[in-house]
Amino acid sequence: MNENDLLVDVRGPIATITFNRPGARNAMTWQMYEGLVNACDRIDSDDAVRVAVLRGAGDRAFVAGTDITQFLDFSTAEDGLAYERRTDRVFDRLERLRVPTIAAVRGYAVGGGLGLAAACDMRICTPESKFGLPIARTLGNCVSMRTYARLSDLVGRGRALHLIYTAGFMPAADALTAGLVTEVVAQEDFDSRLHELCDQLSGHAPLTMWASKEEARRLRESRMPDGDDIIEACYGSEDFREGARAFVEKRSPRWRGR
């Protein structure tokens, strides 16, 4: 990983993690995912930190998913299973941070970017922000059971399926109505509101914050089924390999259903 692709800045009680590939809309590389795990370990080891903020560089995207060029090396179902297990481990580590986490979304939060935002405790965004899982028209893959459960917990099964089936984008106003985000803040007021929110949370009882997020996590975990067979069916398909090639070649994929 380029050491500047993921930045960690700790100032007093606030830790800020910045995904810093604005030219690629902050798309995640394997190394950036690992860097996020390391950042979480660093934050948990610092008792002075009370709030963690995740944000993307620039105003075009929070994170526009995983860098799809990396999928060109996938050849078997096991490759897809390993990828989803890897991202599950990263998202789980983020979710298990002892401090409240805020996804500060400007622009697009797509695919893995939506997964990252969903793994945070709170999400605020600008009016221009959009959220989506357009995999039905791009890659032909699927999300893991854990990512699907987080999304369903936030917006409900019906809206989650609608978002995936239509392969479109949920605008900020709809995301607020659906419960995906808690606040929509004008671009010019975004940073000041974010700082205000961080100051508020950092002044609250740390154990209350930790207990609340841990109870929510355990409640969801208690009803988590296995979904490896679903992942293998999608990532092991001809359609997935075609989708990845088509995306990189900037053309429409030719789906065959196998």
Domain assignment present for residue 164? The answer is yes
Q: How far apart are CA 181 and CA 190, in angstroms?
A: 14
Domain assignment present for residue 179? The answer is yes
Domain assignment present for residue 120? The answer is yes
Domain assignment present for residue 226? The answer is no
The tens place of each residue's pLDDT in the chain, 258 residues long, gives 577 999 999 999 999 999 999 999 999 999 999 999 999 999 999 999 999 999 999 999 999 999 999 999 999 999 999 999 999 999 999 999 999 999 999 999 999 999 999 999 999 999 999 999 999 999 999 999 999 999 999 999 999 999 999 999 999 999 999 999 999 999 999 999 999 999 999 999 999 999 999 999 999 998 889 999 999 999 999 999 999 999 999 999 999 999
DSSP string covering 84-115: HHHHHHHHHHHHT-SS-EEEEE-SEEETHHHH
Q: How far apart are CA 197 and CA 123, in angstroms?
A: 11
Domain assignment present for residue 227? The answer is no
Helix (H, G, I), strand (E, B) or coil at 79: helix
Domain assignment present for residue 208? The answer is no
Instruction: Kindly report the CATH number assigned to the domain that includes residue 25.
Output: 3.90.226.10
- Cβ-in-10-Å burial (0-12, 13-18, 19+) of 9 comes to exposed
Element (DSSP H or E) covering residue 132: strand 130-132
pTM confidence score? 0.95
Domain assignment present for residue 251? The answer is no
Domain count, the chain: 1
Q: Domain of 11?
A: 6-188
Residue 208 in tokens: 């209350």
Helix (H, G, I), strand (E, B) or coil at 164: helix
Domain assignment present for residue 162? The answer is yes
